[in-house]
Chains A and B, each alone.
Chain A
Amino acid sequence: DAKTTQPTSMDCAEGRAANLPCNHSTISGNEYVYWYRQIHSQGPQYIIHGLKNNETNEMASLIITEDRKSSTLILPHATLRDTAVYYCIVRVSNNDMRFGAGTRLTVKP
């Protein structure tokens, strides 16, 4: 699976949009981009995934660049409960997930 690079930590003001970047310059054509988050002492929670097109669901939006070498997870209106470690993972569907260090997002009042 392709490796990903994410900032170690980010802060965001409550109510503002949180934009979390992820670089995956060695991604292959059949690899999906997945985003999960892990709130302290809990199992990872699935957020969203995509292959080429931008995706949106009730939790977030995923913007994938045209060359697919990077992506951005957008939480449109961050709340204090969105404070977590966010993991960007690229993988071929149905293969195991390989977690990197992720980005620790802190939403501040």
Chain B
Amino acid sequence: GAVVSQHPSWVICKSGTSVKIECRSLDFQATTMFWYRQFPKQSLMLMATSNEGSKATYEQGVEKDKFLINHASLTLSTLTVTSAHPEDSSFYICSANRAVQETQYFGPGTRLLVL
């Protein structure tokens, strides 16, 4: 099956620092990758959509300068939370479209805690 990995699985950082989260499609090429955020006891909220080699499309209310997305290859997308604050603490999940079947496969998520 299609496997999507994320690294790290969890991270704790100090307020004001930047954190980079990687999302990789391990056994397929992903033309499109998505980033979601999930707060406790809430559903997933789409943050942005990224296509390889082009700028990401951000959802309304998501600051593009704060959440930097780079989709440098067909198997790797990164999300950088810049100048993280405690309110950015959340569960960040990526997903990728398998080009042929177009079903979206999700990574295991990255739990971010900003102190």
Contacts and interface: CB of A to CB of B under 8 A. Distances in A.
Interface in B28-46: 32, 34, 36, 43-46
Interface of A is mostly: loop
B18 interface: no
Nearest to B94: A43
Contacts of A38: 44
Contacts of A42: 108-109
B67 interface: no
B43 A101 contact: yes
Contact of A43 (B45, B97, B102, B106): B106
B97 A44 contact: no
Given A100-B43, A101-B43, A102-B43, A45 B32 contact: no
A94 B109 contact: no
A26 to B, nearest CB: 19
A99 B44 contact: yes
Interface of B: 4, 6, 32, 34, 36, 43-46, 49, 91, 93, 95, 97, 102-109, 111
